[in-house]
Amino acid sequence: MFIGALIRAKRKEFGWSQSYLCKGICVSSHLSKIENGEFEPTDDIKRLILERLNISEQFDEDYIEKYQKEINEFHRLFFFFYKKEASEKVSKIKKQGSKLKYSPLHLDYYLVCYADYVINNNHNCKKAKDTCLYLETHYDLMSDKHQYFFEFYKTFIETSESNQLEKLSKLDGNGQVVFRLSRRYEAKGMFYKALESVEVAKDKFLMSGNLRGLFLSLLFKGSYLFNMASYEDAIRVYQAIDKLVNSSKSSDPYINSFKYFALSNIADCYLKLNDLEQMKDYALLAIDSENIDDDKIYGVFPYILMCHYCLSKDNYSEAEKYLRQGENQVTLSQTQDRSYEIYQLKKYRMMIEDKDYSKKASYLELLLEMKESMISNQLTHLVHAVNKELETYYINHRQYKKALDVTKKI
């Protein structure tokens, strides 16, 4: 039913009324129903209207297929918060605007344009508002998939999001969009909202039998609780993941990776609770659970935690051993947090080589580099942790204003 939106867009571009466009072809009420998607025109009426609008009825199928893939890839990049790559993709798509907005990809193109305004924080400009209004006018002509992408993009600019979860939940049958909404709330530091969303996503994954989605939602539920300093609650979630993986008896290496991440994250929780013995036990369990397959590993964070444990015991030789293992294997790490692991390895190398590392400007430089890297790599769940370290550094150096500025972002 894209044809109605296409006809309306071209007619308005020419500044024509409905009666002017359809004169000698059909009555204006009939055209109105076509434009609103209430009626599919006959081949003859469609041909005559498109000819009058100077729109070719023949579309290059290879061209349409190519740019449908480009548009789908853009949504995927945006959906997973790859902002830089999404911006590059949208530039390529918008260069074809003169063709795409008068093609079967008409509404797809305007949805990409709207998302582009959101990416660049230009949602208050007139063009962005007009595009949003245009999409809302043609909302019923969108596919379900496009509707929930549209609703998802709107969460990036709406000041009041109280009804956003409910709206997306109705549109999102499999939980993917609501899960991404939880990541959006996390990026904004709205962890209670993130928890509410990830709970809805978890239930949807469970109902649809999506085992990977179920484990992923549980993993991020633990992450949100961790960022809220609810470490005991986070531990319980991670322990549930460990038990579920064991009971699932899955041969899927992706599913089995959740056991490693759960054990590693439990160890990190115990670090925050200052229970270093429990931290050590779970870090070693995580290392033991990791299966090396095709020269790939899940991550090296447990080695970093073991280095921390050894340093706390002034056992520098053992700390060096675990740190070197992490440094040697980090290139094999398959976790999306690998850049964070690299910076943590650098930090612990600094700790081993200089006991007064925290007093040095080089430590601050490392933290600022780490934060910039976390932001550029869309690792929003780790920016919070880096901000905490920055806050501590500034307080220790009596730079209270800077500490306060960082605290506002935590």
Please spell the DSSP secondary structure of 45-79, one letter per residue.
HHHHHHHHTT--S---HHHHHHHHHHHHHHHHHHH
Is residue 357 included in any domain, yes or no? no
Helix intervals (H) in 95-175 = 97-100, 106-119, 126-137, 144-154, 164-171
Domain membership of residue 214 (yes or no) is yes
Asked, for residue 151, whether it belongs to a domain, the answer is: no
Asked whether residue 144 is assigned to any structural domain, the reply reads no
Query: What is the Cα–Cα distance from 247 to 239, expressed in whole angstroms?
Result: 12
> What type of residue sits at position 30?
H
Q: Does any domain span residue 17?
A: yes
181 falls within a domain: yes
CATH number at residue 16: 1.10.260.40
- pLDDT band at residue 347 using 50, 70 and 90 as cut-offs: very high
Contact assessment for residue 190 and residue 228, using Cβ atoms and an 8 Å cutoff? no
Amino acid in the structure at residue 113? C
> Using one digit for the tens of pLDDT, what is the confidence trace for 292-338?
554 556 789 999 999 999 999 999 999 999 999 999 988 887 777 78
How far apart are the C-alpha atoms of 135 and 152, rounded to whole Å? 13
Q: Provide the greatest CA pair distance for the chain.
A: 91
Boundary (domain end) residue, out of 175, 209, 228: 228
Under 8 Å between Cβ of 182 and 220 = yes
Q: Using CA atoms, how far apart are residues 233 and 185, in angstroms rounded to an integer?
A: 19
291 located within any domain:
no
Residue 11, pLDDT score? 84
pLDDT score of 160 more than 50:
no
- In this prediction the pTM is 0.65
Domain boundary among 39, 58, 77: 58
pLDDT tens digits, 97-124: 888 877 888 889 999 999 888 878 787 8
When pLDDT is averaged across residues 32-36 and rounded to a whole number, the result is 82
Task: Count Cβ atoms within 10 A of the Cβ of residue 180 and give its class: 0-12 exposed, 13-18 middle, 19 or more buried.
Answer: buried
Query: How much is the mean pLDDT over the chain?
Result: 84
Highest mean pLDDT among 13-27, 280-294, 299-313, 358-372: 299-313
Residue-range definition of the domain harbouring residue 41: 2-58
On the CB side of 54, how many CA atoms lie within 13 Å of its CA? 5
Q: Which of 191, 212, 228 is the last residue of a domain?
A: 228
Residue 239 lies in a domain: no
Angle between helices 164-171 and 144-154 (to 10 degrees): 160
Report the candidate in 97, 40, 39, 108 with the shortest Cα–Cα distance to residue 69: 108
The mean-pLDDT minimum among 195-199, 296-300, 382-386 falls in: 296-300
For 229-256, what is each residue's pLDDT tens digit? 999 999 999 999 999 988 887 777 778 7
When divided into structural domains, the chain yields a total of 2
